[in-house]
Amino acid sequence: MRISDILRVKGDQVVTVRPEVSIERLLAVLAEHGIGAAVVSRDGSVVDGIVSERDVVRALAARGAAVLTEPVSAIATAQVRTVEPEAQLEDVERLMTERRFRHVPVVVDGVLRGVVSIGDVVKNRIGELEDERSNLAGYITGERV
Ligand code: AMP
């Protein structure tokens, strides 16, 4: 399965925040959309960074509540790993596991086209494994499933 197959179902909406937005505002955005990370972008299209709840937790633990008024750019990750829609789901799964992050923006020619989260990966992998299991069961029992 390719990443484009996932985006076709889940859509291409990506929640972005500008770098100067406060961390307090970021938390409101994450809560409002029920998501764990936002892409940092000045124009809503080019990826300037990514910021996740984990970055906020880390900053709060290190510097206390004063960080809430700091800009998102103070805690965001600037070197973002992105993938193209043609990427295979398994490769993104491996990337997330090896690099220990749960979000990967999808980019075409430098333009943001979607985001895949670990939740999307798990959901689709379970679907794939379920299909495989039922095909194998059909093969063994001789029944068409
Ligand atoms: P996450 O597991 O996605 O909440 O993120 C864990 C850490 O990795 C945080 O410091 C994020 O800013 C960073 N991060 C998340 N996604 C990416 C990505 N695609 N490329 C680089 N860093 C990322």
Question: How many domains is the chain partitioned into structurally?
Answer: 1
Q: With contact defined as beta carbons under 8 Å apart, do 3 and 15 qualify? A: no
Question: Exposure of 36 by Cβ count < 10 A (0-12 exposed, 13-18 middle, 19+ buried)?
Answer: middle
Task: Report the separation in Å between the CA atom of 130 and the middle of ligand 1, taken as the mean of its atom positions.
Answer: 29
Residue 144 has pLDDT above 90, yes or no: no
Domain of 51, CATH number, reads 3.10.580.10
Provide the pLDDT confidence category of residue 145 given band limits of 50, 70 and 90. low
Q: Which CA distances in Å does 25 have to 41, 87, 107, 140?
A: 15, 33, 25, 55
75-99 tens-digit pLDDT? 999 999 999 999 999 999 999 999 9
**Which residue has its alpha carbon closest to ligand 1 atom 8?**
101
Pocket test for ligand 1, best of 3, 15, 52 (most atoms within 8 A of CB): 52
Phi-psi region of 76 (alpha: psi -120 to 50; beta: other; left: phi over 0): beta
Pocket test for ligand 1, best of 54, 60, 99, 116 (most atoms within 8 A of CB): 54
> Which range of residues forms the domain containing residue 46?
3-141
Phi first, then psi: what are they for 12, rounded to 5°? -110, 15
Nearest ligand 1 atom to alpha carbon 77: 12
